[in-house]
Structure 1
Amino acid sequence: MTSSTGGGDVTPPPISPIDPSYRSPGASGARKRSRSLEPDVRVPAEAARGYLVARLARDYAAAGRVLSEIRARAPDFTPRTLLDVGSGLGAACWAAQGAWGRSLQHFVCVEPSQALREVAERLRHGGGATPGPAHFGPVFLRPLLPPGPQVLLENGTRAGHRALMEAREELLQGPDADSVEIFAPCPHRLPCPRLSQGRACAFAQSFWPLPLSGNPSAPERELVSFLVVRRRGSAVTSPGDPVMSPPDPMTSPLGGWARVTAPVRPRPRHVSLSLCCPDGAQRRLAVTVARHGRSLYRQARASRWGDLLPFPGEGGTANGKAERR
């Protein structure tokens, strides 16, 4: 899924009762499979219904996880348009509407599969009959508008992460590399340390499956790999953003910011963290009051997988070890 917006958990919008025919025996096999990078326009209607049962809640949770970070770090950013390429059933549109509400006025979804488009239209209209084909008026290119963030979203697997890193490398080595900012999740522009280890950089998002027979009745967890980039000077950055704003010597940590890349493991007198650091290294750090101070220790205990955390810098990493495979 690739989304572009212009100009915590997200509470899902109410979902109308789903036609019983959408229960598909093929749903269980699709639960943990992401869609192919090569679009298949020949998806049969039965498979599209199975995709709804197996993936709609997961895709919504994954998109909501990423968009909520943009909203939290740039609270003044109010997009008006959203372009979703490979939109599937429109989960990213629902998540964006949950994040920004009425500020979003225009949605453009690009989905090559007719079967998925038809199911998405039925969802959009509350499960009723699909209306006539949508009409597109004249399309104008407006390159002078401030560009919004570009969101690339994949399943949290090695293949999904590898695809994102290929796109990241293309952006950072292309002719416009100087104008590209990595908004999330990377705290640096260097090569991904997990890619060289053959491991996926993924983050967990809990969600409730659709209330259908055969679906679990307890929360599940979806692993998502993502990349958010923006053009320098775009409106997505607010003055309070800890990573993208100009450094403030009064508030910025000396060592920069690190990303928590695995579940936090609190212990009686220390907190074990797996961090992607601003120098491009992946480290496991044991944070203690004596070595790192009470403030960082409290922040570490309160942090969660995927959070940003002040990196103590070289002076505080004497006991930090490079993370190995």
Structure 2
Amino acid sequence: MLALAERLLQGGSESPRAPLFPGVYFRQFLPVSPKVKFDLVVSAFSLNELPSLAERRETIRTLWRKTDGFLVLVENGTKEGHQMLMEAREIILGGGDKVAHDPREAHVFAPCPHHLPCPRLNPKQPLPCNYLQAYNPLPFCWNPALKEELFSFLILRRGPGAGEEPWPRITQAVLGRAQHVHCHLCCADGSLQHAVITARRHGRDLYRCARRSHWGDRLPVTMPHGETVLGE
């Protein structure tokens, strides 16, 4: 996969040449020195390839040590993929590194609007927290022009999230009906809510905003004391 990525960045050329995008380098291992950090560290569809929980834990801690700004983890939008991301969230937020190379605390940037346990990990009926993305597949004759894929993601940042509004995130497709909108939300208090928004009850501005929102967006609604302004 690394060889294919390198070939694609060279425009498909079989002979070695400079990448089409400058500043891109390929290396098999991360730098050993804890002083070498990066503003953005991304791991996409990789945790599921590791053979054991112990190796996943060590890989997650290594990626976090290399993160100076944001760590982005992406996995398949299945129960297993979501569980691995929540596992990574717990490892990083819980600390426990034997050597603290950076005193700044970890903070969940997205998608969770809180640091509480994921409300979707209900022991009786666990549901994955996932999102839908459309993309253009490789132009083979058997592929359609457009495909859709479910994925789960987690973004962590170093330092506190001071100043960020505790807005809930939309966790399913928004359903627009006659004079009302259905929104399923993950809220800042760690709960899941099904909100039915109408112009008469919640105002035309919020109603229009909800009607134009999409799965994965944050809905800008909060009470003065941080409680969500929505109900069944």
* TM-score of the superposed pair, with normalisation by structure 2: 0.70
User: Aligned in 2, Cα 1:144/1:221: closer, same or farther, shift over 3 Å?
Assistant: closer
What is the rounded CA distance, in whole Å, between the counterparts of 2:142 and 2:38 in structure 1?
A: 47
Give the Cα separation in 2 of the matches to 1:213 and 1:144.
43
Percentage of identical aligned residues? 45
Does 2:184 correspond to 1:274? yes
**Residue in structure 2 matching 1:303, options 208, 213, 221:** 213
Structure 1 residue ranges without an equivalent (≥5):
1-115, 234-243, 321-325
Query: What is the aligned partner in structure 2 of residue 246 from structure 1?
Result: 163
CA contact (8 A) 1:184 1:229 kept: yes
User: Unmatched 5+ residue regions in structure 2?
Assistant: 18-25, 40-67, 98-102
- 1:225 aligned partner: 152
Aligned counterpart, 2:69: 148
* Residues 23-74 of structure 1 deviation map (CA, whole Å, 9 limit, x = unaligned): xxxxxxxxxxxxxxxxxxxxxxxxxxxxxxxxxxxxxxxxxxxxxxxxxxxx
- Separation of aligned partners in 2, 1:170 and 1:180: 10
Corresponding residue of 2:174 = 264
CA contact (8 A) 2:104 2:158 kept: no
Deviations 1:134-185 (A, max 9, x none): 789x975426887120011101111100000011111222247971110100
1: distance between equivalents of 2:32 and 2:79? 37
Residues of 2 paired with 1:223 and 1:202: CA distance?
Answer: 6
1:112-133 CA-to-partner distances (Å, cap 9, x unmatched) read xxxx23222222222222539x
1:209-255 deviations in whole A, cap 9, x for unaligned? 111121113x111111000001006xxxxxxxxxx4526xxxx5xxx
Q: Distance in 2 between matches of 1:210 and 1:118?
A: 17
* Aligned equivalents of 1:225, 1:141: Cα separation in 2: 29
Give SS of 2:219's match. strand
More helix as a share of residues: 1
Identify the residue that residue 32 of structure 1 maps to in structure 2.
none
Q: Specify which of 178, 184, 202 is matched with residue 110 of structure 2.
A: 184
1:170 corresponds to 2:91? yes
CA shift, 1:290, in A, is 2.5
Judging by fraction of residues, say which structure has more strand.
2
**Amino acid in structure 1 at the alignment position of 2:119:** P
Report what 1:131 is aligned to. Answer: 16
The aligned runs of 1:104-123 (5 Å cut-off) are 116-123=1-8
**Bigger shift: residues 284-293 or 122-131:** 122-131
Q: Matched residue of 1:149: which SS?
A: strand
Q: Structure 2 CA distance, aligned partners of 1:274 and 1:135? A: 42
CA contact (8 A) 1:277 1:311 kept: no
Instruction: Provide the residue aligned with 1:102 in structure 2.
Output: none
Kept in 2, the 8 Å contact 1:121–1:130? The answer is: no
Q: Distance in 1 between matches of 2:209 and 2:163?
A: 22
Q: Report the equivalent of 2:126.
A: 198
Q: Return the alpha-carbon distance in structure 2 between the equivalents of residues 135 and 168 of structure 1.
A: 26
Would you say how many aligned residue pairs link Structure 1 and Structure 2? 184
Aligned counterparts of 1:119 and 1:214: Cα–Cα separation in 2: 21
* SS of equivalent to 1:291: helix
Paired AA for residue 151 in structure 2: V
Shift of 1:202: 0.4
Preserved contact between residue 187 and residue 228 of structure 2 (Cα < 8 Å): no
Distance 1:264 1:272 in 2: 6
TM-superposition CA deviations, 1:265-290 (whole Å, max 9, x none): 01111110000001000111001123
- Is the aligned partner of 1:293 residue 2:203? yes
Q: Distance in 2 between matches of 1:135 and 1:189?
A: 34
- Cα RMSD (Å): 2.8
Normalization by structure 1: what TM-score? 0.51
- What does residue 158 of structure 1 align with? 79
**Residue from 208, 211, 214 that aligns with 2:139:** 211
